[in-house]
Amino acid sequence: MNDSNEHIFANRQTLIVSMAEIKELMPMDECIELQKQVFAAHVQGGAQNAPNTWLRVTGQNKWMKLLAGYVADIDTMGMKVLARFPENPPGMNIGSLVALFDGSDGFPIAIMDAVYFTAVRTAAGGGLSALYCARKDATSVGIVGSGVQARYNLIAMKQLLPQLSDARVYSRSEERRESFAEKMQQETGIQMVAVETVEEAVEGMEIILMGTNSPQPVLLKEMVVPGVHIAAMGIKTEIEPSVFKGARVIGDGRQVTMEDGKFSVGFEAGVLSESDLAGEEIFEIGDVVIGKIQGRLSDTDVTIFDSSGLAVQDVICAHHCYEKAKKVGKGTWVDLGLGELP
């Protein structure tokens, strides 16, 4: 107990970590392991998420999302703020930060870029969904979208399913899809082909990777065949609601999938309910990770990973980067002056 009048935050500093440093501190393999841990903790009561909060600017195409969570094993609370400006150039339409707080007294221990590890932690979830939900003999991926999520999800999938050997990619820009195919073939060793339509990208593929910003559905029911796994990683309007009917749906969390996932589009429109799904419920990937349920029951199941994102995914990544940064001397320490008595 501090008997003096000194503030409990006196002489304490906050670590500021840049995107360049985060890229060094968070390789994909480490991120995948962290996501396995936090998905398991989420279903076992060791991680809590507050309801997501949205700010959508009236009459303008821009919005902000706030996510907050707590992970018990590391006794750390955190909040991510994500600002999205879809009309910005590709790859420049998101700004994001995470603030971490000491779980024992609330001191802000770190503030860091969250754009990079949002991409990587989201992709790690998509990769895990393919590991647990795709057919074990899957070797092919049809990719719709050529942005950040398409890139990092493919990297994660290749790490977890090294047998992947063939992929097709479609995006609206011929230049971007051709560039994506060339770069990702070099980076992953997967044989990549750029194609001119969504139908060409997904036909005959055992995994479909969705990573678009499309305000209208681009993956339609007639494009989906028995046995395919769909990793739905883009915005929630990219998939036709009827695709979900009869499918085995796995979300990062049931509640967030109901409220903010691709499933929510049909649910809110009154054309889709959990009773329409295989098993008549949305399953959670954490239950798959711990072995409580199976991701896939048969080779003919259509499985969908409906990715919305959990705050605790960000908290565990940010804490990992914070601890690692301290050990290797990354980041910049700043005194925010919080030790001053008001």
CATH code of the domain occupying 14-117+312-334: 3.30.1780.10
Give me the mean pLDDT over the 280-296 stretch. 97
Task: Enter the tokens of residue 200.
Answer: 């060409």
pLDDT > 90? residue 131:
yes
Higher-confidence residue of 93 and 325: namely: 325
**Amino acid type, 260:** D
Can you tell me the distance from the alpha carbon of 248 to that of 244, in angstroms, rounded to the nearest whole number?
Answer: 8
pLDDT of 10: 86
Tell me the domain boundaries of the chain: 14-117+312-334, 128-309
Q: Which residue has the tokens 């899957």?
A: 138
Q: What angle do CA 242, 304, 284 make, to 5 degrees?
A: 120
Mean pLDDT in the chain? 94
What pLDDT, on a 0 to 100 scale, did the predictor assign at position 5?
67
Beta bridge partners of 304: 230, 249
Find all residues with CB under 8 Å of 44, minimum gap 6, and list them. Answer: 286, 290
Interior CA angle at 14 toward 69 and 100, to 5°? 5
Burial degree of 242 (CB within 10 A; 0-12, 13-18, 19+): middle
Q: Which pLDDT belongs to residue 341?
A: 64
105-127, pLDDT tens digit by residue? 999 999 999 999 899 999 999 99
Q: What is the dihedral of CA 19, 24, 25, 30, to 10 degrees?
A: 120
The predicted-structure confidence for 170-209, as pLDDT tens digits, reads as follows 999 999 999 999 999 999 999 999 999 999 999 999 999 9
Q: What pLDDT, on a 0 to 100 scale, did the predictor assign at position 254? A: 93
pLDDT-based confidence at 4, cuts 50/70/90? low
- CB within 8 A of 229, min separation 6: which ones? 129, 130, 133, 134, 135, 138, 206, 207, 208, 296, 302, 303, 304, 305
The whole-angstrom separation of Cα 293 and Cα 85 is: 38
Give the closest residue to 237 by CA, choosing from 204, 201, 263.
Answer: 263
Structure tokens that stand for 283 in this block? 């399953």
**CA 258, CA 97: separation in Å to the nearest integer?**
25
Pick the range with the lowest mean pLDDT from 59-68, 170-179, 238-247, 284-293: 59-68
Q: Which of the residue ranges 32-36, 113-117, 131-135, 167-171 would you say has the lowest mean pLDDT?
A: 113-117
Q: What is the pLDDT at residue 165?
A: 98
pLDDT of residue 6: 77
Report the distance separating Cα 94 and Cα 64, nearest Å: 10
Q: Are 250 and 304 in contact (CB under 8 A)?
A: yes
Q: Which helix (H) or strand (E) holds 90?
A: none
pLDDT at 8: 85
Going by their DSSP bridges, the two strands 14-17 and 229-232 should be labelled as unpaired
Q: Which residues pair with 305 in a beta bridge?
A: 231, 250
pLDDT at 1: 43
Give the distance, in angstroms, between the CA of residue 18 and the centroid of all CA atoms in the same chain: 20
User: For the domain 128-309, what is the CATH code?
Assistant: 3.40.50.720
Rg over alpha carbons for the chain, rounded to the nearest Å, is 21
- The 10s digit of each residue's pLDDT in 201-259 is 999 999 999 999 899 999 999 999 999 999 999 989 999 999 999 999 999 999 999 99
Domains 14-117+312-334 and 128-309 belong to one CATH topology:
no
Distance CA 181, CA 197 (A): 15
What per-residue confidence (pLDDT) applies to 342?
A: 65
